Amino acid sequence: MWKASVLAVCVLLAAMSSAAHARQVLRIGTNVWPGYEPLYLAAQREAWRSRFNVRLVEYPSATEVLRAFRNRALEAAALTLDEVLALRGAELPIKVVAVLDISAGGDVILARPALTDFRALAGQRIGVESGALGAYVISRALEINGMSLADVEIVTMDVSAHENAYQNNLVDAVVTFEPVRTRLLAEGAREVFSSNQIPGEIVDVLVVHEAVLEREGDIVRQLVKGWFRTLEYMESEPEAAARFTAQRLRITPEEVISSYDGLYLPGAAENVGLLSGALTPTLQRLHRVLLQQQILLEPVDYEGLIAPDWLAE
């Protein structure tokens, strides 16, 4: 009887442990951005929720993604590399496991039609999501044009408020990105700065808590594998992929396809090269600029931040 009772307890504990593991959900946070849309397309095509227990969580802004990831409300997040450096500066044990995209015109500063170039923004109100990528973009634009923050009026706002603020004359310009870029350009806004002027500096990556990699490494590996399969699908079936994404971004399929003109999405082989060393100079340059612009207040130890181990084989 005693042995039977012990056995029953062991079986119950094992079942509880197995159920707890089965209920473990890998939550990935994103904000709205074409470079992250392959995640949603992959989820729709590969049924990640049922197969790998993955849940995509969309936030109105990168600032909110950062906050949720920092507070461990997310196991993984799609963020820019400068944002990841800021997280590492907070001594968060994290790893970059894939490069999702490299911005080549998708991140922009849009101004009213009468403001013909960036220097015309002197004294003007600029809407900026200051806790995330926007702070980096405006800092680089000012630096390149020989200006400083003292020359403009920064209006702090989440990217979700950019379109409304521009339309209601609450700002004269916004630091924004797709799909807001496409919609505001259609209303006559003028592009006065873009990521084309800082090539290779805005890199979006998938970042994961180290503890999650130790616990759910196989799921992360399958996630990355599914991402690359989806890129291949987008290449072979661009119209079908665009129709799905258009519904989410609230632009036309043709505008979806055009929005990817401002992005480069590296495949599996290129990711191996990037994470095995080719991304290091970009990381070093970002670190230097973030310190110069006082977005980072002190140097960050980013040794071991980039991890190619989780790329699908």
Res 12 pLDDT > 80: no
Residue count of the chain? 313
Of the ranges 51-55, 149-153, 170-174, which one carries the lowest mean pLDDT score? Answer: 51-55
Predicted confidence (pLDDT) per residue in 84-131, tens digit = 998 998 889 999 999 999 999 999 999 999 999 999 999 999 999 876
- Does residue 304 sit in helix, strand or coil? coil
pTM score, whole prediction: 0.86
Predicted confidence (pLDDT) per residue in 30-39, tens digit = 999 999 999 9
Residue 50: what pLDDT?
57
Res 268 pLDDT > 70: yes
The band of 23, judged by pLDDT with boundaries at 50, 70 and 90, is very low
Token couple for 63: 């600032």
Taking the CA of residue 62 as centre, how many other CA atoms within 13 Å lie in the half-sphere pointing to its CB? 25
The CATH fold assigned to 107-197 is D-Maltodextrin-Binding Protein; domain 2 (3.40.190)
Crossing angle, helix 210-236 and helix 238-249, to 10 degrees?
120
Pick the CATH number of 22-102+201-310 from 3.40.190.10, 3.10.20.600, 3.90.1150.10, 3.40.640.10: 3.40.190.10
Residue type at position 13: L
What residue segments make up the domains of the chain, in order of their start? 22-102+201-310, 107-197
Residue type at position 89: G
**22-102+201-310 and 107-197 have identical folds:** yes
Res 22 pLDDT > 60: no
Predicted confidence (pLDDT) per residue in 41-64, tens digit = 999 887 565 566 889 999 998 999
Give kind and range of the element (H or E) at residue 222.
Answer: helix 210-236
Closest Cα to residue 92, out of 234, 278, 301?
301
Average pLDDT over residues 175-200: 93
